[in-house]
Structure 1
Amino acid sequence: MSKKLQVVLSKSVNKLGKDGDLVEVAPGYATNYLIPQGIAKLASPGIIKQVEQRKAKEQQRILAEREAAEAFQTALQAVGRFVVRKQVGEGESIFGTVTAQDVVDAIKASTGQEVDRRGVTLPDVGKIGFYKAQIKIHPEVTAEVEIQVASL
């Protein structure tokens, strides 16, 4: 049994790792394929230190994004209710439906901040009234807001 070699990937390799990852591979795989193709570099103490610093910066960036998302979640919940106005017919039924874009527009009008419409989850809205909507701000942060559907 030969020992494994540590290499730093210069490109993403399927089932091995992403660009900048420190991985252990068989010596033959490293010397015959990865290094000659320019896909990886042999890991030295200096390169390992750079990889660790890059990972630490990435962790800080992810943490800052999450904190910003949590602050926005708190701001959305502080506002409490967003009003969406639609044309109303008989029996308090609305014409059409309330879309995620309608909710995004109402949030932008109230808070001035953008929300991705693909992250908005709405129940079926067919009448005027109050509804709960889920807004995914960050992969780990979801806010629940109240939507009031009112007549024009």
Structure 2
Amino acid sequence: MWAGQSKWDKGTEPMGEINVTPLVDVMLVLLIIFMVTAPLLSQGVNVDLPDAESPAMQQNVEPLVVSIQADGKLFIQKQAIELKQLAPRIEAIRKQKPGLPVFIRGDSKTPYGRVAEVMSLLETAGIRKVGLVTEPHR
């Protein structure tokens, strides 16, 4: 039989609490990761969207976003593009991904004529359905 001393002194009892320090460390790391990656999830260029009442759309596919800034500059996703290049570029993208939805993110100060021009060019590129992105009423 073993006659040595046990780990526990006779005057102390074992601690029955859970050490949460590693859990807090992991949660803080996850929080930092989400804070860094959240701004990267926005699509297109930053524009001041108009307010409108509309239900949120549920999608599984990342759409193709055409953004129009207040000064009329065009962007596909985050890449600047000239107006005359829009239709050929959209056609090339849609050949690779035929069912890709197309959304227009127009700044609230963008002239309506510019939005109509873009929609007309999208129609010549074979796009029959175009979504207009808005913000809910604030």
TM-score, with normalisation over the residues of structure 1?
0.26
More helix by share: 1
More strand by share: 1
Larger-gyration structure (1/2): 2
